[in-house]
């Protein structure tokens, strides 16, 4: 895993809005750290849907994308009722794994609240390693990843 997601929203080909719910916050109305994982998943699934590959169809096609690793860097707190833009980019794809980067920005404050990375395996319906689908390998990469 490489943990250096870009801070520039223009480096991400997709953005998904998420509204912070009260149940995701603590007594200070700050989002609990675990809630960020759900924001990443919701945004990743929405990205696949927007690409014409809804995750239920991906699964029906015989592959799954389980998370192998996740890292989140919390910079500024998200709070109850914030509208959060979750920017998503595929940054690398290997034979049977891929990595996605995320930038979470509170829309009304226009500030970066978190960055994140997820690494996924590609497995078949029996849980055995499978090749990353060609359509996924062909996704646009973030500008930061293209510098490599």
Of 85, 65, 73, the C-alpha closest to 115 is 73
CA 38 – CA 44 distance, rounded (Å): 10
Q: What is the largest CA-CA distance in the chain?
A: 46
Asked whether 20 and 78 are in contact (CB, 8 A), the reply is yes
Respond yes or no: is residue 81 known to be catalytic: no
128 burial (CB, 10 Å; 0-12 / 13-18 / 19+) is exposed
Query: 4, 7, 26, 108: which one is catalytic?
Result: 26
CA quadruple 95, 97, 52, 89: dihedral sign: negative
**Active site (catalytic) residues:** 26
């Amino acid at each position: 895993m490489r943990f250096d997601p870009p801070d520039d929203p223009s480096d991400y080909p997709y953005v998904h809005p998420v509204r912070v719910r009260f149940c995701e916050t603590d007594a200070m109305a700050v989002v609990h750290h675990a809630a960020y994982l759900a924001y990443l998943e919701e945004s990743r699934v929405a990205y696949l849907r927007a690409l014409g590959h809804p995750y239920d169809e991906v699964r029906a096609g015989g592959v799954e994308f389980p998370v192998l690793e996740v890292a989140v860097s919390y910079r500024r707190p998200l709070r109850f009722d914030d509208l959060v833009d979750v920017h998503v980019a595929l940054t690398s794809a290997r034979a049977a794994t891929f990595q996605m980067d995320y930038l979470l920005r509170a829309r009304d404050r226009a500030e970066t609240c978190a960055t994140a990375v997820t690494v996924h395996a590609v497995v078949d319906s029996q849980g055995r390693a499978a090749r990353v689908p060609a359509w996924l390998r062909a996704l646009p990469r973030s500008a930061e990843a293209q510098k490599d």
